[in-house]
Amino acid sequence: MRQKYVVVLCFAVASIFGGCGPKHSAPETETAANGSAATPSTPAVSNNVTIKGSDTMVHLVTAWSDAYMKAHPEAKISVTGGGSGTGIAALLNGTTDICASSRDLNEEEKKSAEGKGLKLSDLTVARDALSLIVHPNNPISELTIDQIASIYTGAVSNWKDVGGPDEAIVVASRESSSGTYMFFQEHVLKKKDYTPSARLLPATSAIVQTVADSTGAIGYVGLGYVQEAAGKVKVIGVKATPDAAAVIPTMETVLNGQYSIARPLFLIVSKEPAGTAKGFLDFCLAEEGQKIVVDTGYVTVK
């Protein structure tokens, strides 16, 4: 008799709640305008995009983002520097959507990405030339690659040893997290260590300021900063060999291969871009985006 009451009770509850046991409801669907059921909608792609990395590229990426947001008011793009290494680390940690980098990924970064199941894709968006700058009062107007390397490794510490005045050389460099630091070390110093006396500075603007303030200073900056620093510092010519002609970094000398300290600039993503991220990347390579490359003093890839 007790069993009968339980069964009756179960049917009573079922009439109210739709069943005595657990019930799995069907996926919710949206109703289309004609009253028919539509398929579930996918989440909207975010209009917020963060870009972090190369200090060399900050001016360029900021100019791109400002122009893109002006044309697309719904887009919100945040740009910060800190160095290529910092940007790549942020991309690997999932704290930025796009990394701006002035160097290739190293093997350790590639392995880290593989271990996290990330497939990093880089897009060459511009080219750059590392420009050697000195104080405007420094009579030196050109140096060979070997002389530059000797200065930055500490083998030469006085300007008189490279044809200049009897004055100590103040070596200004980016800090080790910078892609520019690593590129310069690999391509100019031939992987030798920087002199212990080098001033490792957190931003390219700090290098410009150091050289502008000291008659004995030398530094290297991206071509995009030369335009901004005009009058404060002097760009010197670079000779690939002692017998070669000195070459000043310009768009023409980079594109025709005459200037030897040139490099590509990248935007790197860890997943297939969509929404604002994809629109922004497409914009950077479009005609308007490449015009901004030229206007900001960098070298177009077109």
pLDDT in tens, 103-114: 999 999 999 999
Domains of the chain: 48-127+265-295 (3.40.190.10), 128-255 (3.40.190.10)
Place of tokens 């000779």: 239
pLDDT mean over 5-17: 35
pLDDT of amino acid 159: 98
Tell me the whole-structure pTM to 2 decimals.
0.79
Q: How far is CA 197 from CA 63, 118, 146, 194, in A?
A: 35, 39, 19, 8
pLDDT of res. 1: 40
- Tell me the sheet residues that pair with 131: 221
Tell me how far apart the alpha carbons of residues 95 and 219 are, in angstroms, rounded to a whole number.
31
- Percent of the chain exceeding pLDDT 90 equals 81
What tokens does 119 get?
């497939």
Q: Which residues contact 274 (CB under 8 A, 6 or more apart)?
A: 45
- Each residue's pLDDT tens digit, 90-143: 999 999 999 999 999 999 999 999 999 999 999 999 999 999 999 999 999 999
Q: What is the DSSP string of 75-125?
A: -EEEEE-S-HHHHHHHHHHTS-SEEEESSPPPHHHHHHHHHTT---EEEEE
* Mean pLDDT rounded to a whole number for the chain: 87
Q: Which two tokens stand for residue 100?
A: 């701006």
Contacts of 223 (CB under 8 A, 6+ apart): 128, 129, 130, 131, 249, 250, 254, 297, 298, 299
Q: Considering only CA atoms, which of 179, 8, 163 is closest in space to residue 82?
A: 179
The winner for highest mean pLDDT among 44-53, 222-231, 279-288 is 279-288
Q: To which H or E segment does residue 217 belong?
A: strand 217-222
Confidence at residue 45, expressed as pLDDT on a 0 to 100 scale: 62
Helix/strand/coil (H/E/C) assignment for every residue in 254-278: HHCCCCCCEEEEEEEECCCCCHHHH
Position 11 pLDDT exceeds 80: no
The predicted model gives 166-171 an average pLDDT of 98
Per-residue three-class SS string for 16-70: HHCCCCCCCCCCCCEECCCCCEECCCCCCCCCEEEEEECCCCHHHHHHHHHHHHH
pLDDT in tens, 26-68: 333 333 334 444 444 444 567 999 999 999 999 999 999 999 9
Q: How far apart are CA 261 and CA 253, in angstroms?
A: 10
pLDDT at 285 over 70: yes
Rounded CA separation 73/152 (Å): 46
